[in-house]
Amino acid sequence: MQTRFSFGGDEHIFAEVGEAMSLEAFFKSLFITNAVRDAKIKGVTEICPANASYQVKFDPDQIKPDDLLTELKRLDSASEKSEPVIKTRIIEIPVLYNDPWTHETLMRFRERHQNPEGTDLEYAARINGLDSVDAFIKAHSSAPWFVSMVGFVAGLPFLYQMVERKRQLQAPKYLRPRTDTPKLTVGHGGCFSCIYSVRGAGGYQMFGITPMPIYDPNQNISYLRDFMCLFKPGDIVKWKPIDRAAYDAAVADVDAGRFAPVIRDVSFSLTEFNRDVDAYNSKLDGVLHGR
Amino acid sequence: MAVKVLKPGLATTVQDLGRPGYYHIGIPLSGGMDRHALAAANLLVGNEAGAAVLEAVFMGPELEFTADTTVAVTGAELPPKLDGELRETWTSFKVKRGQILSFDFLKQGARGYIAVAGGIDVPVVLGSRSTYALGALGGFKGRKLEAGDELPVGNAAATGKDGRSVARDLRGQPAGMPTELRAMPGLYWHRITEAAGNGFFSDTWKVAPEADRIGYRFKGGQPLDFVPREPPFGAGSDPSNITDACYPYGSIQVPGGTEPIVLHRDAVSGGGYFMVGTVIAADMDLIGQLQPNTPVKFVKVDMDQALAARRSRSELLSRLHSALA
C-alpha cells in the first residue's frame, strides 16, 4: 500500500493510505497518527485519523509544509517495519434493534427509500442474502467493530466490521437523505455502521437505537464527565442486542447517573487477528466479559 | 454588567478565535468566520484581539446594556443605531446604561462583529467561548441567541476610548467583483478531467442560498466531468464518492460534480465526497462576508503563493494592531 499525500491548502496535509476501505488501510492510518501524536511535532495542531486516510493540520508559520511532509513520509515508511499492535479499548454498546422510534422515522421518510414496502432492517437482510431480520441482527452483533473514524459531527463514530470482506454487511444510503434521525440511532451506509450522536439529518439505514448517550456537551452523564465524547478512533465496539425492558431499565439507569458502560482495555494485534478472525474475536469477547 | 437580548437577529452567536484540537472527534474549530474583523472589533474597544464577541449574520440584533460601556461594530456594513441614532461601523462609541443598540439594514458584506469592552463572558468550553450550534456546545447555552437572553460581560481591562476608527485599507474586506478566492488544487483533483479542472477555475460561480457557518455552496459553473473508475470498496457508487475521509477547513467538495461547497469554521469534519482542492487560509475571512448571489471566481495558486498571501494577511493584522495600540 503506497500512501498518497496531498496538501489541503497551506494548513493541511491529507494522506490517503488506501483508496478502498480495508482493515489494513485503517490500521495503518491509526498507527501513523499515533506516531505523529507521540512525535509531538512543533506546529502540528490537529491529528485526524479516518477510515483509510488521515489528515494533519499545521501552522505553516511554525513548520514548513515540505518539512512536515518529509516527516510524515518518514513515519509512513517506518510503520512498514513496526509490529502492527495497538493498545485500545473494547466497549459494549447495548442496542434495541427494530425499536419504535427509528421505525416511526423510517415510515415517515419511506418515499426516500429503495424499498418503500418494507423496513430498513428487512431491506438490509434481503440484500445481504440473509433470510430474516433476526439473522441480520445476529450477523450485525456477533462480531466486533472498529471505530474507524470519529467525526462528521461531534462524537459520531464510523464503525467497520471486523470480519473478512466477503462476510461484511453492506447497504446503500437512502436514495435521498432524511431531514430527521433520532438521537442514538444505530445506522449503516456502505460498509460502515454509525451511531448518530445528535438528532439531525442522515442518509444511513436505521437498524435500532442505543440507550447509552455517547456525546454530552453539558457533561452531566456520569461516564462523560471526564470528556464529552465517548469514542476515540481505534476503539473496538461490541453490540449487545437487548429487549425493550432492558432498554427502559438502561435509560432509567442513565438518568439516575448509575449506568456503568462495560469498557475494557485491550491490546489488538492485526497479525494475530488475520491469522484466525473468529478465534481472535472470541478472545476479544472474553476480555470484554472478564473471562 | 450584562447585555440583554431584546431581539436576536437572524442567527447571532457568541464567537472568539475558536477551539483547536478536537477536530479528530468531530468538534470543529468554530470561531468568527471573519477573524480579522473580529480582532478589529475587539481592539477598538480595548479588548484582547481574541475576546468573545457577537457575530450577527445578514441582520443585527437589538441589545440593551445594563451598565456604561464601549462598543464597536466591524465586518459587514451593518450600521449600528444607538437609541435610534446612526453610528459609524469600524468605530468605537460609548453606550450608557439602559441605552438600546439596534441596526439598520445590511448595506454590504454578510457578518457584523459586535464587541463590548470586557468581552462576552460565557463559560469557556474546551478552551473557547465560541458557539458550535450543531453540537449544542459553547457560546450561550450552545445555541444562537434568543430574545430574553442575558449575556454576561467581563471586566474591561482598560476604559475603551470613544471614536477610535479603523482605516479602510486595514479592514481586509472583499474587494472587487467577482470576489476572487485563491485555492490550491489537490486532494482528489485527479478524479476530474483536465477540461473540468480548467472549467472550475475559469467559470464564474455564485454564492447559493445554502451558505452558513458549516459551509458555503456555489452554483452556476459547468458540472465537472469525472475520470472513469471502478468504485473502490467502501466508497459508494457515485463518481463523486470517496471512502469517507477527513475534510480540511476550506476544502472544496463537489457532490455529484455539480455545486462546490467550501467548508468553513463549523465544518463537518469528514464525509464521503471528493474534494478538488482547498481555499487558502488567507482568503477564508472573505468567504464569511459573501452574500448569496455574489459572483465568485476560484483562482488557482500554488503553495508559495499561498504562503505569500498568508504573510500579507498577517502583516495586515500587525498593522491593525499598531494602528490601535
A81 vs B15, residue with greater confidence: B15
pLDDT at residue B26 in the model: 95
Mean pLDDT lowest among A137-146, B100-109, B232-241, B287-296 = B232-241
Flag if A50 and B310 touch (Cβ within 8 Å): no
| Nearest neighbour of A21 by CB, restricted to B243, B270, B278 | B243
- Residue A257 makes CB contacts below 8 A (sequence gap 6+) with A221, A222
| pLDDT confidence bin for A290, thresholds 50/70/90 | confident
Residue matched to cell numbers 457557518: B213
Check whether residue A129 and residue A75 sit in a common domain. Answer: no
Distance from CA of B267 to the nearest CA of A (A): 8
Do A252 and A125 fall within a single domain? yes
For residue B181, list chain A residues with Cβ-Cβ distance below 8 A.
none
Contact at CB, B244 and A192, closer than 8 angstroms: yes
Torsion of CA B30, B34, B35, B41, to 10 degrees: -120
B271 neighbourhood in chain A, CB within 8 Å? 152
Decide: B219 and B208 in contact? Cβ < 8 Å.
Answer: yes
CA distance A162 to A192: 11
Q: Which residues pair with A269 in a beta bridge?
A: A85
Residue A175: what pLDDT?
87
> Mean pLDDT throughout A173-188?
93
Last residue of a domain, one of A50, A82, A114: A82
- Residues A38 and A157 both lie in one domain: no
Single residue among A44, A67, A82 that ends a domain in this structure = A82
Task: Say whether B25 and A155 touch across the interface (CB within 8 A).
Answer: yes
Per residue in B233-252, pLDDT (tens digit) is 988 888 999 999 999 999 99
Identity of the residue in B24, B27, B310 whose CB atom sits nearest the CB atom of A233 = B24
Q: Number of Cβ pairs closer than 8 Å across A and B?
A: 179
**Cis check: omega of the bond before B178, within 30 degrees of 0:** yes
CA distance B65 to B3: 5
Q: Are the beta carbons of B248 and A215 separated by less than 8 Å?
A: no
Q: What is the pLDDT of residue A291?
A: 76
In contact, B224 and B192? CB cutoff 8 Å = yes
* Nearest partner of A259 among A218, A210, A217, A194, judged by Cα: A210
CA B144 – CA B155 distance, rounded (Å): 23
Please state, rounded to an integer, the average pLDDT across all residues of chain A.
95
Nearest CB to A47; choose among B24, B250, B282: B24
User: Which of A82, A100, A127 marks a domain boundary?
Assistant: A82
CATH of the domain at A192: 2.40.100.10
Give the C-alpha separation, B318 to B325, whole Å. 10
Q: Which residues of B touch A14 (CB under 8 A)?
A: 186-187, 245-246, 248
pLDDT digit string, tens, across residues A118-136? 999 999 999 999 999 999 9
Chain A positions in Cβ-Cβ contact with residue B134 (cut-off 8 Å) = 153-154, 198, 200
Q: Which of B138, B242, B269, B234 is nearest to A150 (CA)?
A: B269
Q: Is B124 on the interface with A (CB under 8 A)?
A: no
B179-316 homologous superfamily:
Cyclophilin-like (2.40.100.10)
* Beta partners for residue A267, in sequence order: A87
State how far the alpha carbon of B315 is from the alpha carbons of A116, A286, B283, in Å: 59, 60, 14
pLDDT at position A28 over 90: yes
Of A228, A197, A88, A221, whose CA–CA distance to A147 is shortest?
A88
At residue A209, what is the residue type?
I
B96 near B72, Cβ under 8 Å?
no
Contact B170, B323 (CB under 8 A): yes
Residue B226: name the closest of B253, B251, B250, B196 by CA: B196
Contact A9, A49 (CB under 8 A): no
Chain B residue with Cα closest to A13: B248
8 A C-beta contact, residue B96 and residue B131: no
Q: What is the pLDDT of residue B5?
A: 98
Provide the grid cell at A47. 491529528
CB within 8 Å: A8 and B187: yes
Residue A63 confidence class, pLDDT cut points 50, 70, 90: very high
Q: How many helices (H) and strands (E) does chain B have?
A: 4, 20
pLDDT of residue B159: 64
Q: Containing domain of residue A71, as a range?
A: 4-82
**Residues of chain B positioned with their CB less than 8 A from the CB of A61:** 310, 314
- pLDDT category of residue A279 using cuts at 50, 70 and 90: very high
DSSP B272-283: EE-EEEEE-GGG
Question: What is the mean predicted confidence (pLDDT) over B3-16?
Answer: 98
Q: Which of A148, A188, A171 is nearest to A18 (CA)?
A: A148
Cβ contact B269–A190 (<8 Å): no
- pLDDT digits 0-9 by tens, A184-217: 999 999 999 999 999 988 889 999 999 999 999 9
* DSSP-derived secondary structure for B52-73: -EEEEESS--EEEESS-EEEEE
C-alpha cell at A143: 462480531
The alpha-helical segments, DSSP class H, found in B161-258 are 194-202
Residue with cell 431499565: A249
Question: Higher-confidence residue: A272 or A291?
Answer: A272
Predicted local distance difference test score (pLDDT) of residue A176: 86
Query: Closest Cα partner for A160 from A69, A40, A25?
Result: A25
Q: Are A192 and B314 an interchain contact pair (Cβ–Cβ within 8 Å)?
A: no
Is the CB of B137 less than 8 angstroms away from the CB of A154? yes
Q: So where are chain B's domains?
A: 2-170, 179-316
- C-alpha B106/C-alpha B75 separation (Å) is 11
Quick one: residue A88, left, alpha or beta (phi over 0 = left, psi -120 to 50 = alpha)? Answer: beta
Question: Do β-strands A236-241 and A85-97 pair in parallel, antiparallel, or remain unpaired?
Answer: parallel
Is the Cα dihedral A83, A88, A90, A95 positive or negative? negative
Which run of H or of E encompasses B135? none
pLDDT at A73 over 90: yes
How far apart (Å, rounded) are the C-alpha atoms in residues A49 and A72? 13
Whether A19 and A160 share a structural domain: no
Could you tell me how far CA A40 lies from the centroid of its own chain? 26
Kindly state whether B20 is in contact with chain A, defined as any CB-CB distance less than 8 angstroms.
yes
Per the structure, the count of domains in chain A is 2
Strands B93-95 and B69-77: antiparallel
Q: Which amino acid is at A181?
A: T
CATH number for the domain harbouring residue A62? 3.30.1360.40
Residues A224 and A252 both lie in one domain: yes
Nearest residue on chain A to B186, alpha-carbon basis: A6
Distance from CA of A147 to the nearest CA of B (A): 11
C-alpha to C-alpha distance for A284 and A267, rounded to whole angstroms:
9
Judge if A155 and A63 occupy the same domain: no
**pLDDT (0 to 100) of residue B142:** 97
Which residues, including other chains, have CB under 8 Å from residue B215's CB and lie 6 or more apart?
A: B261, B262, B263, B264, B267, B268
For the stretch B197-208, pLDDT in tens is 999 999 999 999
pLDDT band at A81 (very low <50, low <70, confident <90, very high): confident
The band of A225, judged by pLDDT with boundaries at 50, 70 and 90, is: very high
Do A26 and A124 have their domain in common?
no
Contact A262, A237 (CB under 8 A): no
Q: Does pLDDT of B39 surpass 70?
A: yes
- By CB neighbour count within 10 A (0-12 exposed, 13-18 middle, 19+ buried), where does B32 fall? buried
Measured distance CA(B55)–CA(B33) in Å, rounded: 8
* Closest CB from B126, B272, B280 relative to A9: B280
By Cβ distance, the residue of B234, B282, B303 closest to A190 is B234
pTM, rounded to two decimals: 0.95
Instruction: State whether A122 and A149 are in the same domain.
Output: yes
Helix (H) or strand (E) holding A142: helix A133-142
Shared domain check, A115 and A208: yes
